[in-house]
């Protein structure tokens, strides 16, 4: 198929996409929470591809080879038989890469948004969302990144159905980040092919309570609602921080604890937005005085201008 060039030189484009914590314990591949840590991109058409990156993992974000944002951008346009205009991206990243904070979802969505804008595709928000979800293979991070708050999603071969709530809840999101990363692909390979009825029923019960907790702002439900039996137990060996921090679930300042996404980071939700005592409590439980703890809050979804 021969490629055409995009119809008109597009205007500069600004994009801000939040980090996301998927699963929240039991909601494997179904629930995600947007967090106020952002991938921000300002893009213009240029003579050659260039990325100037600042912030977290800036060197990796600035690499032009095998860059998930650029490969997605180019591939989406190639599928529409459009030669991708070369872009200069100014990028600021606050999302830890490969740590269970939805970096790949934000990069995939960024690539699809850029293709829609600079290729003049005229896609609806739903089409952008579905393209990114199918590229990721599961919808939980992408849907929360796009829509914000706590987003529930279901994906079939042809469509993605979503519902969001909890965007205005001011709970604290405390992320404990070990020093090593873990590729989602590896973390998924640790999971069994089948589960017992007891484990599945326990997760359905927790997930139902979890959705109610966010819909009604019921922090008191989280301790029970964030219990998981279908992915966390199998990921412990690759996420050694999790068994050290799970016992903190009974601490009075803490509402609930789960592996963040596929790990290895751990998400600890608190009633207070940024409890100053919590980083030390987490570091003590982890036995690591230099453990990084990021304190943030629930975010709105994708912004473009
Ligand atoms: N801003 C970015 N620029 C370029 N590549 C990125 C960017 N963000 C993520 N990636 C790519 O995605 C990979 C991380 O994806 P992976 O799915 O393994 O983890 P994650 O998305 O951070 O975690 P999780 O899916 O558990 O939330 C990085 O190693 C990198 O290849
Ligand atoms: N639901 C996904 C989230 C990480 O991308 C998983 O746990 O593998």
CATH number, domain at 211?
3.30.70.890
Residue 252 covered by a domain: yes
Ligand found nearest the CA of 53: 1
pLDDT score at 118: 97
28: Cβ below 6 Å to ligand 2? yes
Instruction: Give the closest ligand to the alpha carbon of residue 188.
Output: 2
Is 122 found in the same domain as 14?
Answer: yes
Measured from the alpha carbon of residue 267, the closest ligand is 1
Token pair of 188 as six digits: 């998924």
Q: How far is it, in rounded angstroms, from Cα 12 to Cα 45?
A: 7
Residues in Cβ contact with 268 at an 8 Å cutoff, skipping those fewer than 6 apart? 173, 174, 175, 176, 245, 248, 254, 256, 257, 278, 282
Give the model's pLDDT for residue 104.
98
Decide: 141 in ligand 2 pocket, CB within 6 A. Answer: yes
Closest CA to 26 of 250, 248, 241, 232: 232
Query: Do 82 and 119 form a contact (C-beta atoms < 8 A)?
Result: yes
ipTM of the complex: 0.98
Dist. CA 231–CA 269, nearest whole Å: 19
Taking the chain (305 residues) in consecutive chunks of 10 residues, what is each chunk's mean pLDDT? 69 97 98 98 97 98 98 98 97 98 98 97 97 97 98 95 97 97 96 98 98 98 98 97 97 97 98 94 97 98 97
3-state SS class at 38: strand
Ligand 2 center to residue 91 CA distance, Å?
Answer: 25
Q: Does 100 share its domain with 123?
A: yes
CA distance 238 to 115: 35
**How far does residue 107's CA lie from ligand 2's centre (Å)?**
15
- Give the pLDDT confidence score for residue 7 in this predicted structure: 66
Task: Report pLDDT for 8.
Answer: 61
Note whether residue 304 is domain-resident: no
Same domain, 162 and 178: no
User: What is the structure's pLDDT at 62?
Assistant: 98
Q: Is 209 in the same domain as 265?
A: yes
Residue 304 three-state SS: strand
Q: Is 262's C-beta closer than 6 angstroms to any atom of ligand 1?
A: yes
pLDDT score, position 9: 64
Same domain, 225 and 256: yes
Q: Which domain holds residue 81?
A: 4-166
CATH of the domain at 111: 3.30.230.10
Cβ–Cβ under 8 Å, residues 146 and 132: yes
pLDDT number for residue 1 = 59
Which residue, of 138, 166, 194, is where some domain finishes? 166
229 DSSP assignment: S
């Amino acid at each position: 198929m021969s490629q055409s060039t995009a119809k008109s030189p597009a205007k500069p484009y600004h994009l801000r996409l939040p980090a996301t914590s998927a699963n929240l314990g039991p909601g494997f591949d179904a629930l995600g929470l947007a967090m106020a840590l952002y991938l921000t991109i300002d893009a213009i058409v240029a003579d050659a591809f260039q990325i100037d990156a600042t912030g977290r993992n800036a060197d990796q974000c600035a690499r032009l080879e095998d860059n998930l944002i650029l490969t997605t951008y180019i591939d989406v346009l190639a599928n529409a038989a459009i030669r991708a205009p070369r872009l200069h991206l100014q990028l600021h990243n606050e999302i830890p890469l490969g740590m269970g904070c939805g970096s790949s979802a934000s990069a995939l969505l960024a690539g699809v948004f850029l293709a829609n804008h600079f290729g003049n595709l005229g896609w609806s928000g739903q089409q952008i969302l579905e393209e990114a979800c199918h590229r990721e293979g599961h919808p939980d991070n992408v849907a929360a990144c796009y829509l914000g708050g706590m987003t529930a999603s279901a994906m079939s071969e042809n469509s993605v159905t979503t519902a969001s709530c909890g965007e205005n809840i001011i709970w604290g999101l405390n992320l404990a980040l070990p020093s090593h990363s873990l590729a989602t692909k590896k973390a998924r390979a640790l999971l069994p092919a089948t589960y017992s009825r007891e484990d599945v029923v326990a997760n359905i019960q927790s997930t139902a309570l979890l959705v109610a907790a966010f819909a009604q702002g019921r922090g008191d439900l989280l301790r029970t609602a964030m219990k998981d039996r279908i992915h966390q137990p199998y990921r412990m060996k690759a996420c050694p921080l999790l068994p050290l921090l799970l016992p903190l679930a009974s601490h009075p300042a803490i509402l609930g604890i789960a592996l963040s996404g596929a790990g290895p980071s751990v998400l600890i939700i608190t009633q207070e937005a940024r409890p100053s005592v919590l980083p030390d409590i987490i570091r003590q439980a982890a036995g690591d005085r230099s453990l990084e703890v990021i304190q943030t809050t629930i975010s709105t979804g994708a912004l473009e201008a």
